[in-house]
Amino acid sequence: MTWQGWLQILIYVAVLTALTPVLGGYMARVYMGRRVVALERVLGPVERGFYRVVRTDPDREQDWKQYGRTVLVFSALFWLALYALLRLQGVLPFNPLRFDGAPWNVTFNTTSSFVTNTNWQYYGGETTMSHFSQMAGLAVQNFVSAAVGMAVLAAVIRGFARRETSKLGNFWVDLTRTLLYILLPLSVIGTLLLVSQGVVQTFTGSVSLTTLHGFEQVLALGPVASQIAIKQLGTNGGGFFNVNSSFPFENATTFSNFVEMLFILLIPAAATYQYGRMIGRLRQGWALYVAMLLMFAIGVGNAHYNEARATPALQAAGVHATAGHGSTGGNLQDKEQRFGIADTALWGTATTDASNGSVNGSHESFSGFGGMTPLVNMMTGEVIFGGVGSGLYGMLLLVLLTVFLAGLMVGRTPEYLGKKIQAREVKIVAIGTLYMPVVVLVAAALAIAVPAGKKSIYDSGPQGFSETLYAYTSQTNNNGSAFAGYTGFVQPNAPGNEGATGVPFADLVGGLVMLLGRFVPLLAALAVAGSLAAKRPAPAGPGTFRTDSPVFLVLLVGVVAIVAALSFLPGLALGPIVQGLTHQLF
């Protein structure tokens, strides 16, 4: 650990906090009415034209069931379209390296992964995907799956804010405005910032050359920057290259690294302020921001502290990992020199707090305890900032759970924002929060128990267990980062995908848990919002439990921690905790 490392983390938090009200206030305006943001003067005709072609009346709002049904139909059809596009890659254009489509089971996994905003990748981008698949297939989903999450959040917030109505908004309006006025402009800015640092943006497939010392080297190129900008912003995380944002053409400099890290949490953090603005109580939004930041700080502190030490393997090899005198020190295995310890720990924390899942170094090579930061972050259900849209609506379910528990403790009917929380809401909240540990634990246990699950494991000993637990935690929570030794796709040596095989168990179980992990909480949040929208808020009295006070923050963080700990402590004890406590090699 160095003071420069802590300073960078502080700078990151300061910039993020400063941008939260700026972007959050803007996002609230985008969702609170039409003809209110300056960009509409330019893009307004596009917006209105889109409503015409999809045949929606932008003034007609939907109730939660209609809204949810449109989301499901839209996502299901997009799933089919993406699946077809990826399988037909061999006959589609922009395929300079002549890649065939991946096998059906791998494509099932990949398609589910991108439609659910997970971006779990069993394939290696630069060795599997044509430029057309990357741009017209995967990058489109980076935009659209993110926009779906943000649209649903806007609808859910309206449910909290409104009174005595069944209407939550129009899905097409929310989707279109998210894309046109939030994601697209930020992506354009991001692309230009990244290209200025050396992230490539071209339609050339690759350049072959002879290096200074006489070796053949092939530089894989492509339309990378435009895809990476939205991959970071939309908490997608699926890289153009297999090693994601550690590859210099995807993340060239220490400055591009800062931009990409900032983009991970930018929208999820701003959403807390958007929430406060839309319900007309800014303090409630800031309270959620502070709760999230607190858990973020614990995670990054732990990762930075533990990664700055030599792992048992490095110690056994006789390496001294002291920092200083021009050396980064620490566990630099599978990390880049230009990012060092602090920025890799910071990235690893941010990317698993948000359900982003991009990496700038290998999480698998994190130390036992250091690797618990990404793992535990995901086990909270992706609510520490969380995915765009999905993070905050997941957190709002936990807020209701906390209010309910607090109500039980003092024997009062729980209420939030003046609305009574009753049996129906609490039941839905219970489903929306507890399905996740159940799915993760069942899938991981199955993968460990059956022989078909063991085919995917790469490392021996407890690390092999950690790989499995990480894989199903990440996919169920729509994160997408990995202990990447775990595999569902065996790449051939020859160019193209001929001869490639998938691991059907890993591909299918993974694909399934991603779909469940996306749509169960999404529908639960919409259902709760629908039922809250119908209620009439009561004015706050002297007995009202305040939900923007430090006491509430402690309770909320406690609930998040307890739900995660009760579910996952035994699992963690078998993997990373064992490794953190022992110096034994396996």
Partner 1 sequence: MRRDIVGSVIAIVVLTLGLGLVYPLVMTGVAQVTFHDRANGSQVKRDGRTVGSSLIGQDFRKPVLENGKPKLDEDGNPVLEADPGWFQSRPSQSGYSANATFFANLGPNQKDLADQTRANLDAYLALERPYTPTLAAAGVPVDAVTSSASGVDPHISAANARIQANRIAAVRKAPLDRVLALVRRNTDGRALGALGEPGVNVLGLNLAVDKEFPLR
Q: Does 13 help bind partner 1 (rule: CB under 8 A)?
A: no
- Exactly one of 103, 461, 496, 504 binds partner 1 (CB under 8 A); that residue is 461
Helix-, strand-, coil-residue percentages of the chain, each rounded to 5 = 65, 5, 30
- Residue from 325, 536, 542, 543 that binds partner 1 (CB under 8 A)? 325
Residue 197 or 377: the one with the smaller Cβ distance to partner 1 is 197
Residue with smaller CB distance to partner 1, 42 or 317: 317
Give the nearer residue to partner 1 in terms of CB position, either 278 or 300: 300
Residue 570 sits at the vertex; the CA angle it makes with 565 and 572, to the nearest 5 degrees, is: 80
Task: Please report whether residue 123 would count as binding partner 1 according to CB under 8 A.
Answer: no
Give the nearest distance from C-beta 281 to partner 1 in angstroms: 34
Window 66-85: contact mask with partner 1 (x via CB under 8 A): ---xx--xx--xx--x----
Pick from 117, 109, 179: nearest CA to 480? 117
Closest CA to 341 of 314, 308, 385, 302: 308
Residues between 96 and 115 that touch partner 1 (CB under 8 A): none
- CB 462 → partner 1: shortest distance, Å? 7
Q: Which two tokens stand for residue 16?
A: 């993020």
Question: Shortest gap between Cβ of 42 and partner 1 (angstroms)?
Answer: 14
56 binds partner 1, rule: CB under 8 A: yes
* 54 is a contact residue toward partner 1 (CB under 8 A): yes
- 210 binds partner 1, rule: CB under 8 A: yes
Does residue 332 bind partner 1 (CB under 8 A)?
yes
Residue nearer to partner 1 on the CB measure, 85 or 288 = 85
**Which two tokens mark 294?**
């607190």
Query: In the complex with partner 1, which residue's Cβ is closer, 484 or 557?
Result: 484
Given 95, 111, 311, 476, the residue binding partner 1 (CB under 8 A): 311
Q: Of 22, 45, 204, 569, which one interacts with partner 1 (CB under 8 A)?
A: 204
Residues in the chain: 586
Tokens of 482: 């990995």
Residues whose CB is less than 8 angstroms from the CB of residue 360 and which lie 6 or more positions away in sequence, other chains included: 244, 245, 246, 251, 257, 260, 336, 339, 343, 344, 347
Between 204 and 413, CB nearer to partner 1? 204
Looking at residues 223 to 252 of the shown chain, list those that interact with partner 1 (rule: CB under 8 A).
Answer: 223, 225-227, 241-243, 246-249, 252
Q: Does 543 bind partner 1 (CB under 8 A)?
A: no
Name which of residues 560 to 579 contact partner 1 (CB under 8 A): 579
Give the chain's radius of gyration (CA, Å).
23
Asked if 317 interacts with partner 1 (CB under 8 A), we say: yes
Q: Residue 374: enclosing H or E segment and its boundaries? A: helix 372-379
Q: Could you say which residues in the range 345-404 bind partner 1, by CB under 8 A?
A: 359-362, 364-368, 370-371
The two three-digit tokens of residue 202, written as one number: 């071209």
Verify binding: residue 88, partner 1, rule CB under 8 A: no
Among 353, 339, 257, CA closest to 300: 353
Residue 336 found at the interface with partner 1 (CB under 8 A) = yes
Token pair for 65: 């069931």
Binding residues with partner 1: total (CB under 8 A): 130
Q: Nearer Cβ to partner 1, position 64 or 143?
A: 143
Q: Considering the rule CB under 8 A, would residue 318 count as an interface residue with partner 1?
A: yes
Given candidates 58, 198, 301, 537, which one binds partner 1 under the rule CB under 8 A? 198
Give SS3 for 99: coil
Nearer to partner 1, 482 or 514 (CB): 482
Asked if 97 and 130 touch (Cβ cutoff 8 Å), the reply is: yes
- Closest to 251 measured CA to CA, from 323, 355, 184, 337: 337
- Count Cβ neighbours within 10 Å for each residue of 358-377 and write b for 16 or more, e otherwise: bbbbbbbbbbbbbbbbbbbb
How many CB atoms sit inside 10 A of residue 393's CB? 30
Give helix 254-278 / helix 140-161 axis angle, nearest 10°. 30
466 touches partner 1 (CB under 8 A)? yes
